Amino acid sequence: MHDAHHRTGTLETAPPLVFADECDLLRARLAAVARGEALLLQGGDGAETFEPVTEDGVRRKLTTLLQMAVVLTHASRLPVVKVGRMAGRFAPAGSSADTTGTAGPDRLERRYEAQAATLNLARSLAWGGFADLHQVHAWNREFVDASPSGDRYARLADEIGRTLAFLAACGADTRNLGTTEFFISHEGLLLDYERALTRPDHRTGHPYATSGHLLWAGEHIGRPDGAHISYLSGIRNPVAVKLGPGTTPDTVLRHLDVLDPDREPGRLTFVVRAGADRIRDVLPDLVEKAVADGARVGWVSDPMGAGRFDEVLEEVRGFVEVHRSLGTHPGGLHLELTGADTAHGPQLDHGQALDLAFLVAELYHPMH
């Protein structure tokens, strides 16, 4: 205990990065996803670094998510909950910090500073007019006009433009189209850090992680009886767990019992990464087990284990097809993306992310 306090002493008195009422709002939005009334779009860097946080970097990722969300909203006729995957990891998967949940004090303090800077920039952009829907549509039109697949995407882009023109002609109050709700998430790897920033809500006394609105556990730390899941079970934030091709229906039930014992919509989201070749075989049993149990969780596709763009798209297609066949809701996407014109490793660059949005929109369009 003394060692943990030595590592995190300054953080235990640091201001919270997010607030309980914001986490409750996201939980309400994710409850709509679980009920089939909304989609979740979660995206950002796959592996954060301690390079200086820049306005340009945050702006690019937010721009990409906003552009994708407009396309998916129009195609699905559902609101899209936008959650950034930003400023959270700072420890490579499989490292000692990753698996033990500990890190040195300097590392934790630098992480806090990077998260604070990212959150401040994201909030300013989301609420400062940057998210204006007309501007976002103009960016999408520029993308469609320059895209080799522009003819395929033009119909949807034209529909969005006509909708905005109709609203203007009707004299609709579009002032709220200039701002957007935007939430921040990360993988809860470093338990010392998360515990140091856990605070009781002054209204209820319930503990909240104040490092982000939503925390998740990846496969490598997501054992139902492990320390990371135990931590997530004790906070009131919405939480998520990644399910891989080896996940069994019994594991799904164990996660439900530990993380969502009251079966509350919005509390738990399952993020599925099974591979394009396995998704149609793996997913049905997991969904059917949860449905039979009476659980109301969000189901989200993470196709980023694929090596090629066509495999990414095929995994999402399989994910949507499985849910259609079961009569359940394909609740959205969890993506690794840069927002830049280029990407390294299994991440989508700006153009690929928008390509994916327009192509996935075709999968959702017939549903409504």
Please indicate if the annotation marks 85 as binding a ligand.
yes
Nearest to 221 by CA among 361, 96, 355: 96
336 belongs to an annotated ligand binding site? yes
CB 87 within 8 A of CB 53: yes
Q: Please give the helix or strand (H or E) that residue 307 lies within, else none.
A: none
194 is in an annotated binding site: no
77 carries a ligand binding annotation: no
The separation between CA 211 and the C-alpha centre of its own chain, rounded to angstroms, equals 15
CA distance 88 to 119: 11
d(CA 71, CA 362): 10
Residue corresponding to tokens 């990409």? 64
In whole angstroms, what is the distance from residue 14 CA to residue 108 CA? 12
> Does the CA dihedral 163-43-357-333 come out positive or negative?
negative
Q: Which residue in 145, 182, 161, 144 sits closest to 359, CA to CA?
A: 144
Q: 220, 98 in Cβ contact below 8 A?
A: yes
Distance CA 334, CA 44 (A): 9
Q: Residues marked as binding for Mn(2+)?
A: 336
Q: Residues marked as binding for phosphoenolpyruvate?
A: 85, 242, 273
Q: Residues marked as binding?
A: 85, 242, 273, 336
